[in-house]
Structure 1
Amino acid sequence: MRVYAPATSANLNVGFDTLGVALRPLDGSPLGDTLAVASAEQDSLTVTGPYAHELKGTNIVEKALWRFRELTGIQQPLAMHLEKGMPVGSGLGSSAASVVAAVVAINGYFDKPLDTEAERALMAELEGELSGGVHWDNLLPCLLGGLCLHDAKLPVPEDWVWLLAYPGIRLETKAMRALLPKAIPLADAVAQAARLGRFVDALHRQQGPLAASLMLDPLVEPHRAPLVPGFSELKDRLLAGGALAAGLSGSGPTLFAVFDDMAKARQALDQAQLWVSPQQGFAHLCRVDNDGAAFLE
């Protein structure tokens, strides 16, 4: 049995810690984690993929199996193989993808002894251990697919094309959260909450340009953007070149941008490829992955 868990872009400017989207590259490039599980005489875990070398210490997949056994009492040994298809500390939900793939695959292999609530609780526990907090804005779109406000799936304009540009540097979520102020002015919080509400309303009214115009982040991005060389300059160029919205994906360093014109999106892709490291970075045009975590066989 194999399970694929896609990359996600969280926050999306307007929905800090609440909003996220699962994405799939248009060119068919894999951008996610895949876990295969099979019966065995003893436990084993192998890890391959372009980012396998970035994983250090005990893998979260192993911890998922240990906790699953504690919760269910099932002790059957498993041979597991993780294909690590996205970089760690990229702002693309790398830890969430590993967690979701592990829990869905292991629970599915044993005919789902954990119900939906217990399955999600285990994901939250494991993600919290990895990232220092539970980030539903990555976990739930990775699990459910689509654009999610917590576990509510939102309609997405069919003509939206998403750009993801990973520059090739690593920024740990814990460190990026430590940059944020502990409190913000009430008026600023109210304004951002209203902006999120209007964003959701615009999507349901099929007003894509209005929704995208509300994807703004005056609260978090100003504290994080200086740690990503060239981010602000590229963002400004993309907006000037026709992007409807742009910002940091999750805590960065990946940049996301939204377009409703494929020609402009392709021009933006060319610019993004000049920004990213040719060795460690990448840039992709994407559509929304509506499937989320999926059984491949």
Structure 2
Amino acid sequence: MKSIKVFAPATVANVSCGYDVLGFAVSQPGDEVVMHLNSSGKVSLDVIMGDEGRLPRDPAQNTASAVVINYLKHIGVAQGLSIELYKKMPFGSGLGSSSASAVAGLVAVNELMGRPLTREQLLPFAMEGERLACGYAHADNVAPALLGGLVLVRSYHPLDVVKLPVPEGLACALLYPHVEIPTKEARSIIKSQVPIEDAVTQWGNVAGLVAGFCTGNLDLIGRSMQDVIIEPVRAMLIPYFYEMRQLALDHQALGFGISGSGPSVFALCRNEDAAKQVTQVLSGMLSEKNIGCDTFVSSINLEGAIMC
């Protein structure tokens, strides 16, 4: 194999109450990386499309290629590679754009090298791509993009991730309002200390959410999708957040929250038809407020990144 194309999906991090420890993959949107072996002995980033000139062209500074450079150093191979990156998801959306690029690059190079590392072993390299992008090596986007499904980051030190079961038929409605919230800014406004009562409430919700997924209890999933620590702060940056949440719940969504650092929002629904209805009513409401948006409806993606 001398060339490969890999698609890596968008992800919903936090899943309301699971800040930095929960995330799931969706089927669309996502990024594509095309990678070619060559005899140059270097990694080059030859094509970037869909970024409107916003991403660095230096291979050491772009998440799609920087993780590949680190990977090759780790396995001790001085292999020449040319990379093409096709951005097919919005920037600063809270959908894991930098994560998708890093994961696509890693899966591609690992396949070309004969798959010496497992996907779990690729995770630390992907996390370093996140550090490059936003200053913090979190795993709640890259883990589901790599592994698929819903992933719990039980521990960062040492790194310990668990892929959780997903109830059959569960669907996600995603909306990306056309307002920008840089991830670094969204992190900077988070409080460093929280009252113990809020922490207890949050622990109960995280445990309930995990239990709901493991037992297939959709009502428990919905009851547990409440964030009393992060969401109240970040919601102030998203126009009409609480109006959208109430409208989604009024149209049978199980739960509603912020995807990652926002401004994208998501609703978990019992099936795809319900998710389509939620996206229609929410996009209609934003349109009345003169706010454009992109919408996506997807089951939870159980595969993660794939060759295509």
TM-score (normalised: structure 1): 0.90
Which position in structure 1 is the counterpart of 2:45?
Answer: 45
Could you tell me whether the CA contact under 8 Å between 2:218 and 2:254 is conserved in 1? no
Shift of 1:19: 0.5
Match of 1:239 among 241, 249, 258: 249
Shift of 1:186: 1.5
Give the Cα separation in 1 of the matches to 2:293 and 2:46: 25
Could you tell me whether the CA contact under 8 Å between 1:64 and 1:103 is conserved in 2? yes
Aligned residues: 291
Which position in structure 1 is the counterpart of 2:15?
Answer: 12
In structure 1, stretches of 5+ residues that fail to align are: 26-30
Give the Cα separation in 2 of the matches to 1:237 and 1:195: 22
> 1:285 is aligned with what amino acid?
V
Name the CA shift for 1:48/1:56 in 2 (closer, same or farther; >3 Å). closer
SS in structure 1 at match of 2:35: strand
Of 167-176 and 90-99, the range deviating more from structure 2:
167-176
Could you tell me whether the CA contact under 8 Å between 1:272 and 1:283 is conserved in 2? no
Give the Cα separation in 1 of the matches to 2:121 and 2:164: 24
Give the Cα separation in 2 of the matches to 1:68 and 1:149: 24
Which position in structure 1 is the counterpart of 2:157?
Answer: none
Could you tell me whether the CA contact under 8 Å between 2:10 and 2:145 is conserved in 1? yes
Shift of 1:170: 2.2
Q: Does 1 or 2 have the higher relative contact order (CA < 8 Å, sep 6+)?
A: 1
Shift of 1:66: 2.5
Give the Cα separation in 2 of the matches to 1:203 and 1:113: 32
Identity of aligned residues (%): 34
Which position in structure 1 is the counterpart of 2:225?
Answer: 215
Which position in structure 2 is the counterpart of 1:71?
Answer: 74
1:174 aligns with 2:184: yes
> 1:95 is aligned with what amino acid?
S
TM-score (normalised: structure 2): 0.87
Which position in structure 2 is the counterpart of 1:62?
Answer: 65
Give the Cα separation in 2 of the matches to 1:225 and 1:250: 12
Report 1:74-89 matches (<5 A): 74-89=77-92
SS in structure 2 at match of 1:33: strand
Give the Cα separation in 2 of the matches to 1:231 and 1:130: 26
Name the CA shift for 1:57/1:49 in 2 (closer, same or farther; >3 Å). closer
Shift of 1:68: 2.7
Name the CA shift for 1:47/1:164 in 2 (closer, same or farther; >3 Å). farther
CA distances 1:172-200 after superposition (whole Å, capped 9, x unpaired):
11110101111001221122112211222
1:97 aligns with 2:125: no
CA distances 1:206-229 after superposition (whole Å, capped 9, x unpaired):
211222221111111111111111
Report 1:113-132 matches (<5 A): 113-114=116-117, 118-132=121-135
Shift of 1:7: 0.5
SS in structure 2 at match of 1:292: coil
SS in structure 1 at match of 2:90: coil
Shift of 1:23: 0.5
Coordinate RMSD, CA, aligned: 2.2
Name the CA shift for 1:160/1:181 in 2 (closer, same or farther; >3 Å). same
In structure 2, stretches of 5+ residues that fail to align are: 154-160
Shift of 1:85: 1.2
